[in-house]
Structure 1
């Protein structure tokens, strides 16, 4: 018989998982952008030569992903904060963060692909700004506690190194 005990999500595990996922998203998009930039033959600076549909699609998708990810995250956060126990808040918070990172990384990769097709610096700049924003969203204990609006007892519990179930 296989022991299928699910590992409980603790504050320590949450911070580790969020940090790992965030690093993978950030450095994956950054590495992809650097590789595409290094492979590119030339860099185009003039808009007159670029008659691609990407001139319209990339900024629109980038803005939608920026505002949409923030809207989705805040909406999910409002639902999470209503939960009474800390244990019930951690899983949904992790999912909300992953979805937020995914929206932004998808737009950054689209912008990098548009750069690889057209070699226009405009797309590369958008991609780099999105990657910088993903980097800015780096999860910390303080940010997680602030986002979840923890009570004083939950904050003290969250600060403990090991989380014990009742």
Structure 2
């Protein structure tokens, strides 16, 4: 049994590292494929993936936002801040993964075809994923921390009860 208590600062650091790790995979793939792929500006217009992959990218953005909100709803009523933070971490990881998947898919497909459209979609998804990075303010806002929970979370170096 783990008796070590979590601090808000440790929570933010852990979530930031997880976020960065999920961001790094597609980013490194994009750089690798861009440097090693012959770029094709005029992609085949009859290729069905020109329509499918942008839709998958948009679906990833909307699905990530929807799932994140669905995971957060029940957390707001919990009495323990530590439970709220654990749930937020799960919701955030799911949100990041749902955006990372379509980004990686588009980037890999760029590597296969050389069509810049797929790299552009992947880059937009990576920018969106970067914007989702965890911050103290975002955690407070998303969990609607007030009163005692906000004061606990503001004490970054103190263990949570």
TM-score (norm 1): 0.89
Q: Distance in 1 between matches of 2:4 and 2:70?
A: 27
Superposed displacement of residue 84, structure 1 = 2.0
Residues 99 and 116 of structure 1: CA distance in aligned 2, closer, same or farther (over 3 Å): same
Distance 1:165 1:37 in 2: 45
Pairwise CA distance, 1:164:
3.1
Tell me the equivalent position of 2:41. 45
**C-alpha RMSD over aligned residues:** 1.6
2:117 to 114, 117, 122: 122
- Give the equivalent residue in structure 2 for 1:107: 102
Unaligned runs of 5+ in 2: none
Query: 4+ runs of 1 displaced by more than 2 Å?
Result: 4-10, 49-53, 161-166
Selected match of 2:146 from 126, 151, 157: 151
Q: TM-score, normalised by structure 2?
A: 0.92
Q: Output the CA distance in 2 between the equivalents of 1:14 and 1:28.
A: 22
Match of 1:20 in 2: 17
Q: In the alignment, which residue of structure 1 is the partner of 2:84? A: 89
Unpaired stretches in structure 1, ≥5 consecutive residues: none
State the match for 2:32 in structure 1: 35
Q: How far did residue 64 of structure 1 move? A: 1.1
Return the alpha-carbon distance in structure 2 between the equivalents of residues 111 and 165 of structure 1. 41
